Amino acid sequence: MEIKSQHKGQKGLREKVLDAGLCTNCGACTNLCPYHTSYQDNPILIDTCDREEGRCYAFCPRTYTDLQALRQNLFNIDEFTPELGPFKGLYMTRAADPQVRRSAQHGGTVTTLLALALQEGLIDAAVVAEEGGTFLPAGVVAKTPSDLVRRARSKFVVSPNVATFNQAAKSGLEKIGVVATPCQALALAKMRLKPLPSKDSNIDKLHLVIGLFCGWALSWRELKSLLQGKMGKNSIVGLDIPPSKHHSMEVHTQNGIIEISLDEVLPSVRKACQYCYDLTAEFSDVSVGSARLPEGWEVARGWNQVIVRTQMGQELIALARSRGLLEFRDLPEGNWEKLQKASVNKKRAAIQNLVQRSGSSKDLLYLDGQDPVLRTLMG
Ligand SMILES: Cc1cc2nc3c(=O)[nH]c(=O)nc-3n(C[C@H](O)[C@H](O)[C@H](O)COP(=O)(O)OP(=O)(O)OC[C@H]3O[C@@H](n4cnc5c(N)ncnc54)[C@H](O)[C@@H]3O)c2cc1C
Ligand code: SF4
Ligand code: SF4
């Protein structure tokens, strides 16, 4: 339920999201108009806009969101599961191409699916994330499989990929795919619902959303200061978060892996992430995360768990299988239940933090307290 200001333009966005510390830096409010830009891990307002309503406010994943309307309008509601969202199937996959696997974060499923979508003409370009050794990622437009391989691997600071989508959609590209964290997939879903029919929108150019599972992201400044002084002469190749029992973040360097205890890392998590209820990017065509295997993390890190959510996602996975581009293995017993549990735990924690923040169990700030799924979890 929305209370306080009824302003649904830049003023409302500043009051309810930016000043409230709820901004995820998804990028949805950027590159729509001349007044907002992205700078060093945050959107900034270059100038004041006094419109009563705007796309920035309407698309932001941290303004009031009617999740049920999104589920009903964008997905097959009969396939909806409260724990994992729209659900056609859960698979374990990895790229068949060993070069893709070597470049990728885990099994290289994301890079493989995007490359296939490009080759098949399902998309003309994909928005992915790039960072040039500064840990500060930005969205970039990839048009070839080799562009994708160069931008593989996870950047654990949010990359404002939706801002790059907004820009790319104005540039003549007609069919765009986006790699999105759950907050970004939510912003794109809000755009798809076209809440401001009177305003121009390029959202019809969005043809594919590959979501990444996301437990949390790190604040850029805090990550930089965390790593400062720890790495010596080692140059960093990437980061990873192994399963929770390891209780650590891995820093991959040219000389091997350095582990940092999560006790040291968790204070650097972006504060807005504590209000995030979505682990598995529920508003995507396909969602991809790391795997869990009985052989342990050393083997599991080379595979992905993949949730297929839409017809488009299902067709893409089936094509990757029939062309031999993705390898599949059976899902170990219990993986589905573990994923459901992890997802529900994140939802419960977010609800608890939102209630604590608002001071009322009836006020979930950006979420609808009457949402049927959230109500079930609130007990
Ligand atoms: C911030 C963050 C938190 C995550 N938390 C979890 C988690 O808790 N549990 C889990 O199972 N998995 C998590 N993941 C997903 C995981 O790290 C892998 O991205 C996923 O398993 C896909 O692996 P892959 O080998 O298929 O990816 P790749 O083939 O290497 O492709 C990864 C793609 O993601 C893009 N990308 C990288 N970073 C970002 C970013 N910040 N924003 C948008 N796009 C990006 C890359 O440009 C590339 O296109 C997280 C990812 C991120 C970015
Ligand atoms: S749209 Fe995204 S970047 Fe803009 S204020 Fe909202 S959360 Fe932040
Ligand atoms: S935890 Fe949620 S808010 Fe934070 S980056 Fe991931 S999807 Fe976005």
Quote the pLDDT of residue 160: 98
Residue nearest to atom 19 of ligand 1 (CA): 154
Taking only the tens of pLDDT, the chain with its 379 residues reads 444 457 999 999 999 999 999 999 999 999 999 999 999 999 999 999 999 999 999 999 999 999 999 999 999 999 999 999 999 999 999 999 999 999 999 999 999 999 999 999 999 999 999 998 889 999 999 999 999 999 999 999 999 999 999 999 999 899 999 999 999 999 999 999 988 877 777 999 999 999 999 999 999 999 999 998 788 777 899 999 999 999 999 999 988 999 999 999 999 999 999 999 999 999 999 999 999 999 999 999 999 999 999 999 999 999 999 999 999 999 999 999 999 999 999 999 999 999 999 999 999 999 999 999 999 888 7
Quote the pLDDT of residue 201: 79
Quote the pLDDT of residue 1: 45
Q: Which ligand is nearest to the CA of 154?
A: 1
Residue nearest to atom 42 of ligand 1 (CA): 159
Quote the pLDDT of residue 312: 98
φ, ψ (nearest 5 deg) of residue 211: -90, 150
Q: Which ligand is nearest to the CA of 163?
A: 2
Q: CB within 8 A of 339, min separation 6: which ones? A: 84, 90, 280, 305
CB of 243 sitting under 6 A from ligand 1? no
* Alpha helices, H only, the chain: 10-13, 55-59, 67-74, 98-103, 109-119, 145-150, 161-169, 182-192, 220-227, 262-265, 297-300, 311-322, 335-358, 372-378
Q: CB within 8 A of 267, min separation 6: which ones? A: 222
- Written as six digits, the tokens of 266 are 């968790």
Say if residues 180 and 211 touch (Cβ distance below 8 Å). Answer: yes
CB of 346 sitting under 6 A from ligand 1? no
Taking the CA of residue 142 as reference, the ligand 1 atom at the shortest distance is 49
Quote the pLDDT of residue 349: 97
Q: Ligand 3 centroid to 180 CA: how many Å?
A: 10
Q: Side chain identity at 8, as an amino acid letter? A: K
Q: Which ligand is nearest to the CA of 271?
A: 3
Residue nearest to atom 10 of ligand 1 (CA): 289
Quote the pLDDT of residue 195: 84
Q: Ligand 3 centroid to 184 CA: how many Å?
A: 8
pTM (predicted TM-score): 0.97
- Please tell me the distance from the alpha carbon of residue 371 to that of residue 127, in angstroms, as a whole number: 31
Between the CA of residue 61 and those of 28, 235, 297, 337, what are the distances in Å? 8, 35, 33, 28
CB of 272 sitting under 6 A from ligand 3? yes
Q: Ligand 1 centroid to 361 CA: how many Å?
A: 33
Say if residues 59 and 187 touch (Cβ distance below 8 Å). Answer: yes
